[in-house]
Amino acid sequence: MPIIPKYLEEALPKLKDLYIRGKELEKNFSGVAIVGTRRASAIGADIAEKTAYELARYGIPIISGLAVGIDSAAHRGALKAGGNTVAVLGCGTDIVYPLQNKPLYEEILGKGGSIVSQYPDGEVPGRYTFLERNKIIAGLSVAVIIIEAPLRSGSINTANHAIDFGREVLVFPGPYNHSNYGGSHKLIRDGARLVSSVDDVLEDLNLNTLFPKTASKTSFGSKEEEKIFEAIKDNGEPMTVDKIISATKLETQKVLINLAKMTVCGIIIETGGRYAIK
């Protein structure tokens, strides 16, 4: 049986079994959970994916529940960044639920991630297993990010467990009259941290304290991004697009696409048509 990570052991000291398929979790494992409604809007799913992508680039594991909607977007964001993601199930690790997420389940395993459950193989999902699953998600995390949570939802249940365990709860707000945000806004009223950007999340999580070994790490989504980063770094001052193209020998379209991605992710900044390392 794999070692139960420290954060989970502290939250659920009576938990004796943790079943893992894929990469085992180390004793000092911790990560950041991103959860939300299964009926996610396109905007909510985009926020979840981009937030997971950016955090994963810092080397922070992304934890979620493999559900459709926000959970799936969070896992995808981590995978796109080449980072680590952990899917916590409300059934045995040999059962893919929901079945439509089988490709995502397989991609997580294929790219070195982990499928985790407190239930043995063959255990099917039931009425209460997902509520119990939410305890594991909260327990493994140093913080839980809520994106689009209705008043009655598993996301609120996860947030409540996180509060009980002394974890940070960060919430993206939305339109006041949108049902997907009823629970999100209540959490904010009750004292959860309001965040409106990836930069807010990075600041509130205090990366240097929570993840000292990875906070200064810059990882790249492609070789082109790394090449552009090194060109700007070596130049020593902000560069125009033309100069970046000349220095990297990359095609114009590739440079423009990668500059846009790097700017959104906060790796570089753009001022007056010139790009510099943030």
Rounded Cα–Cα distance for residues 250 and 130 (Å): 48
Q: 63-85 pLDDT, tens per residue?
A: 999 999 999 999 999 999 889 99
CA atoms within 13 A on the CB side of 151: 7
Contact 77, 122 (CB under 8 A): no
pTM of this structure? 0.77
CA atoms within 13 A on the CB side of 273: 4
Q: Which fold has domain 223-277?
A: Arc Repressor Mutant, subunit A (1.10.10)
Return the domain boundaries, the chain.
Answer: 6-210, 223-277
3-state secondary structure 200-252: HHHHHHCHHHHCCCCCCCCCCCCHHHHHHHHHHHHHCCCEEHHHHHHHHCCCH
3 state SS of 275: strand
Element housing 96 (H / E): none
**The pLDDT value given to residue 215:** 47
**The pLDDT value given to residue 59:** 84
The encoded tokens of residue 218 equal 């810059």
The encoded tokens of residue 170 equal 């960060």
Does domain 6-210 bear CATH number 3.40.50.450? Answer: yes
Rounded Cα–Cα distance for residues 54 and 198 (Å): 7
Residue 57 amino acid letter = R
What is the length of the chain?
Answer: 278
Q: Report how far apart, in Å, the C-alpha atoms of 175 and of each of 148, 178, 185 are.
A: 10, 5, 10
Q: 165-206 pLDDT, tens per residue?
A: 999 999 999 888 888 899 999 999 999 999 988 888 888 887
Q: Which residues does the chain have with pLDDT short of 70?
A: 1, 207-219, 221
Which stretches of the chain are assigned E, i.e. beta strand?
Answer: 19-22, 31-36, 62-64, 85-88, 114-117, 141-147, 168-172, 193-194, 239-240, 268-271, 274-277
Give residues with Cβ within 8 angstroms of 161, minimum separation 6: 11, 134, 135, 137, 138, 139
